[in-house]
Chain A
Amino acid sequence: MLELSGVTRRFGGAWAVDGVSLHIPPGRITGLIGPNGAGKTTLFNLIAGSLRPTAGAIRFEGRDIAHAPPHRRAALGLGRTFQIPRPFAAMTVLENVLLAALHQRGERAFANWLAPRAVAAEERRNIVRAREIIDFLALGRLAAAPASVLSGGQRKLLELARVLMAEPRLVLLDEPAAGVNPTLLETIIERIRELHARGISFLIVEHNLDLVARLCGEVHVMAGGRLLASGPPEAVTRDARVIEAYLGGAA
């Protein structure tokens, strides 16, 4: 589904991501772990298109996307959330989700004046779908509230809702557990499972190893910008090199 080969990104003289090659198979929940500064978020930015690689290839469902702009990647079925979510604060929860719907005629300059009925019908269909997603993510009560009033955990759910509105096939989650209270975390885990059962694949960056162990079939470990180890979570967390990287990073 997602194929990285030799992906490299330099900032000045430093290699943030250094020759990472990995394969994310379809229909799986894959984990990406590693100490702080390992390059996980940079790798996410490269996959989602916020950054372009210095070298290497990124293929999504066979298509080379290494230099495609982020909005095209979103249209191809690639969604991402952020470690620290930043919704469109001035918009309502519903608007935040609606604007992610793909191929909206109403976003074209003339359609609103030339075909108002078609735009209105499309908007009604999108609102129905957006409300379903918002309800599914337990935000139904807040649909009309401005996104600025949401708690950190609710913002994570809102980001996921926005991503789902674009009907993604692969979702990149950047630390879904960070800063989320335990009750809401259970909701998030349960929803990820449910979406996975519906056929969406996930790549998750996470420090919470419990969440990784519960959700992910395979885990990749990064350290110092390189891929260190790959395998099932229980094997990887016992790997001597991985333990060394974490302890070394802490010391």
Chain B
Amino acid sequence: MIGQILIDGITSGAMIGLGAIGLTLTYGLLRFANFAHGEFATWGAYLAMLGAGAFGGAAPIGALTFGWPLVVALMVAMALTALLALALDAALFRRLRRHGNAIVLVIASFGASLALRSAIEFAFGPEPYYYTTDIAMTLRLAPGLRATADQLVVLAAALVLMLAMHVLLTRTPLGRAMRAVSENPDLARLAGIDPARIVRATWAIGGALAAAAGVFLGVTVQLRPSMGFELLLPLFAAAILGGVGSVPGAMLGGLVIGIAEAAAVPLAGAQYRAAVAFVVLLAMLLVRPRGLFGGRE
């Protein structure tokens, strides 16, 4: 049973981690908590559904429930959601950053979240969608340990994206510049870095990763207009748990939250699953408010 909790927890935790990376990056760079971040996951998931439909219904790959069209649609959805994040920043947050304080930005992000969610509900209606109506066959990995092929592929893809993000931040000039702007924007400017460009790169990356998380959630669970909003609390819990601004922290925080949620189902009952992120978040804030990897503030 422990093995089963781990595999379910790690799979959903990897998705939470993906979403939390963008949240923690925008917080580290712009110093505000973006409540619209979950909607990037929703938009990504629905955009991928449109894309997969447009690319035609090819046969599923192997034991998976989806075919190549969804893989292509995932990439298109990531790119489009990156553009959505950039557009939202240009239209809303950038203007408010110039004049407003952090609380104005947070409230504005609430508004943006509501608008983005309502747009999805208006276009697709409140009922859930699935990428496919095929039944996902479970594979027996070991006695008492079952996972669907979808789960395993989604987990692998999420881990690859996290690794790519880690390499980007630690090994490339762009990542170096992002760390510099996050640590000290004034000094970064004097060192010849244009923070506006770094901010744009961060929105694009955060939006794309959130979209991937949304698509993965759509593959393993379902698509609903509120899916991203419901993801928001686990995302914040993961980001704060890992230390706000820390990308490895967000990844690890996501895994911890995912496993805790999965463990809550047999221990406390499925109805308490959603409360777990909240409990972990509160405990962390009381014990170590900086988070596991947080050094600042």
Partner of B189, one of A49, A111, A123: A49
User: Would you list which residues of chain B between 141 and 196 have a CB under 8 Å from chain A?
Assistant: 168, 172-174, 176-177, 179-180, 183-184, 186-195
Check B187–A88 contact: CB distance below 8 A.
yes
Instruction: Give, as a whole number of angstroms, the nearest-CB distance from A155 to chain B.
Output: 12
Partner of A99, one of B191, B200, B205, B295: B191
Partner of A106, one of B172, B179, B184, B189: B172
A175–B107 Cα gap in the complex (Å)?
44
User: Would you list which residues of chain A between 85 and 117 have a CB under 8 Å from chain B?
Assistant: 86, 88-91, 95, 98-102, 104-109, 111-112
A107–B197 Cα gap in the complex (Å)?
9
Check A108–B192 contact: CB distance below 8 A.
no
* A70: B residues at CB distance < 8 A: 186, 189-190
Check A75–B192 contact: CB distance below 8 A.
yes
Check A107–B173 contact: CB distance below 8 A.
yes
A86–B179 Cα gap in the complex (Å)?
15
Instruction: Give, as a whole number of angstroms, the nearest-CB distance from A52 to chain B.
Output: 13
Check B190–A74 contact: CB distance below 8 A.
yes
Answer whether residue A119 sits at the interface, using C-beta atoms and an 8 A cutoff: yes
A25–B140 Cα gap in the complex (Å)?
79
A135–B121 Cα gap in the complex (Å)?
61
Answer whether residue B204 sits at the interface, using C-beta atoms and an 8 A cutoff: yes
Check B204–A109 contact: CB distance below 8 A.
yes
Instruction: Give, as a whole number of angstroms, the nearest-CB distance from A127 to chain B.
Output: 11
Q: Which residue of A lies closest to B191 (CB)?
A: A100
Answer whether residue A69 sits at the interface, using C-beta atoms and an 8 A cutoff: yes
A95–B191 Cα gap in the complex (Å)?
12
Tell me whether A104 and B173 are in contact in the complex, defined as CB-CB below 8 angstroms, given that A88-B183, A88-B184, A91-B179 are known contacts: yes
Check A99–B177 contact: CB distance below 8 A.
yes
A246–B186 Cα gap in the complex (Å)?
32
Residues of chain B at interface, number, CB under 8 A: 27
Answer whether residue A241 sits at the interface, using C-beta atoms and an 8 A cutoff: no
Answer whether residue B120 sits at the interface, using C-beta atoms and an 8 A cutoff: no
Tell me whether A48 and B172 are in contact in the complex, defined as CB-CB below 8 angstroms, given that A88-B180, A89-B183, A90-B179 are known contacts: no
Tell me whether A106 and B173 are in contact in the complex, defined as CB-CB below 8 angstroms, given that A88-B179, A88-B180, A112-B168 are known contacts: yes
Answer whether residue A50 sits at the interface, using C-beta atoms and an 8 A cutoff: yes
Check A99–B176 contact: CB distance below 8 A.
yes
Partner of A109, one of B174, B183, B195: B174
* B191: A residues at CB distance < 8 A: 71, 74, 99-100, 162, 166
Partner of B180, one of A99, A106, A166: A99
* B136: A residues at CB distance < 8 A: none
Check B173–A98 contact: CB distance below 8 A.
yes
A95–B172 Cα gap in the complex (Å)?
11
Check A86–B187 contact: CB distance below 8 A.
yes
Answer whether residue B201 sits at the interface, using C-beta atoms and an 8 A cutoff: yes
Answer whether residue A9 sits at the interface, using C-beta atoms and an 8 A cutoff: no
Check A100–B176 contact: CB distance below 8 A.
no
Q: Which residue of B lies closest to A69 (CB)?
A: B189
Which of A104, A123, A162 is most buried by chain B, counting CB atoms within 10 A of its CB? A104
* B195: A residues at CB distance < 8 A: 71
Partner of B193, one of A71, A95, A111: A71
Instruction: Give, as a whole number of angstroms, the nearest-CB distance from A124 to chain B.
Output: 12
Partner of B174, one of A71, A106, A162: A106
* A48: B residues at CB distance < 8 A: 190
A228–B191 Cα gap in the complex (Å)?
32
User: Would you list which residues of chain A between 63 and 89 have a CB under 8 Å from chain B?
Assistant: 69-71, 74-75, 79-80, 86, 88-89
A111–B168 Cα gap in the complex (Å)?
11
Partner of A107, one of B174, B186, B205, B295: B174
Q: Which 4 pairs, one residue from A and one from B, show the smallest C-beta to C-beta distance?
A: A106-B173, A74-B192, A70-B189, A109-B201
Q: Which A residues contact B (CB, under 8 angstroms)?
A: 48-50, 69-71, 74-75, 79-80, 86, 88-91, 95, 98-102, 104-109, 111-112, 119, 123, 162, 166
A sample of 14 inter-chain contacts (CB < 8 A) reads A49-B189, A69-B189, A69-B194, A71-B195, A74-B192, A75-B192, A88-B184, A88-B187, A99-B176, A99-B188, A106-B172, A107-B176, A109-B204, A112-B168
